[in-house]
Amino acid sequence: SQQGEEDPQALSIQEGENATMNCSYKTSINNLQWYRQNSGRGLVHLILIRSNEREKHSGRLRVTLDTSKKSSSLLITASRAADTASYFCATFQGNRDDKIIFGKGTRLHILP
Amino acid sequence: ETGVTQSPTHLIKTRGQQVTLRCSSQSGHNTVSWYQQALGQGPQFIFQYYREEENGRGNFPPRFSGLQFPNYSSELNVNALELDDSALYLCASSPDRSYGYTFGSGTRLTVV
């Protein structure tokens, strides 16, 4: 079963607007990562936030993590057509047995 | 531009056959993980290797097996192929389990 659950499943916004995607998970984690995937090809790593961090920025991306609520959000500001893709959160649980669990993704469509 | 190369890009096999998928990671990436992604779904974690030893496994049967080699290449082997094994198989590597992963473009396997 999948740990991360993204919300919404699909999102369409106008170019220039901000896009917010949410992710919920079930168990304790070491870190949470966000990835982008274009047209069913390989995933591109966007940002990693560790379990002891609350917020992280990278360019137009802002990620928050609330471990008490087991949730994270990804904000893309000033969206562009090139941001059209599927976005996945992935939780990394590592003790003796590493597991990386992806959610089902949010399909983001930027309208011109 | 990805530093992880997967081969072949596409493959058609018959039910009951065996298949080997290959992945070449970046130098210094001691961690490699494999995923199965069905259409419209998030990647499902198959297993992970660190320095040639398996150190994590998802909910996949033993007919899914792997190897990691000292030259940063790895293999995913699937025996007794079933129709439901048709999917995109992704390889990802990282210098360390606490960093983000670099994904290859995947191998699309079709079982008929």
* pLDDT band of B1, cuts 50, 70, 90: very low
| Chain A residues touching residue B39 (CB < 8 angstroms) | 40
Pair A21, A7: CB distance under 8 Å: yes
Q: What is the pLDDT of residue A4?
A: 67
Q: What is the pLDDT of residue A35?
A: 96
Q: Which of A1, A43, A87, A93 to mutate to test the interface with B (most CBs of B within 10 A)?
A: A43
| pLDDT at A2 > cutoff 60 | no
Q: What is the pLDDT of residue A95?
A: 64
Q: Per residue in A37-57, pLDDT tens?
A: 998 688 999 999 999 999 999
Task: Say whether B33 and A43 touch across the interface (CB within 8 A).
Answer: no
| pLDDT at A68 > cutoff 90 | yes
SS3 B85: helix
The mean pLDDT of A22-26, rounded to a whole number, is 93
Say which residue, A32 or B2, is predicted with more confidence.
A32
Asked if A84 reaches chain B (Cβ–Cβ under 8 Å), the answer is: no
* pLDDT band of A1, cuts 50, 70, 90: very low
Query: Which tokens belong to A78?
Result: 């000033």
The mean pLDDT of A90-105, rounded to a whole number, is 81
- Residues in CB range of A52: below 8 A, 6 or more apart: none
| pLDDT at A36 > cutoff 80 | yes
Pair B11, B19: CB distance under 8 Å: yes
Q: Per residue in B48-103, pLDDT tens?
A: 999 999 989 999 999 999 999 999 899 999 999 999 999 999 999 998 877 889 99
- Residues in CB range of A71: below 8 A, 6 or more apart: A22, A23, A24, A25, A65
The mean pLDDT of A75-97, rounded to a whole number, is 89
The pairing of beta strand B53-57 with beta strand B64-68: unpaired
Q: What is the pLDDT of residue A96?
A: 59
Query: Which tokens belong to A82?
Result: 């090139």
Which conformational region is residue B104 in: left (phi greater than 0), alpha (psi within -120 to 50 degrees), or beta? Answer: beta
For residue A13, give how far its alpha carbon lies from the nearest alpha carbon of chain B (Å).
Answer: 20
Task: Say whether B90 and A42 touch across the interface (CB within 8 A).
Answer: yes
Q: Per residue in B7-51, pLDDT tens?
A: 999 999 999 999 999 999 988 999 999 999 998 899 999 999 999
| pLDDT at A79 > cutoff 50 | yes
Phi, psi (deg, nearest 5) at residue A99: -140, 135
Tell me the percentage of chain B whose pLDDT exceeds 70. 98
Which of the 8 DSSP states describes residue A81?
G
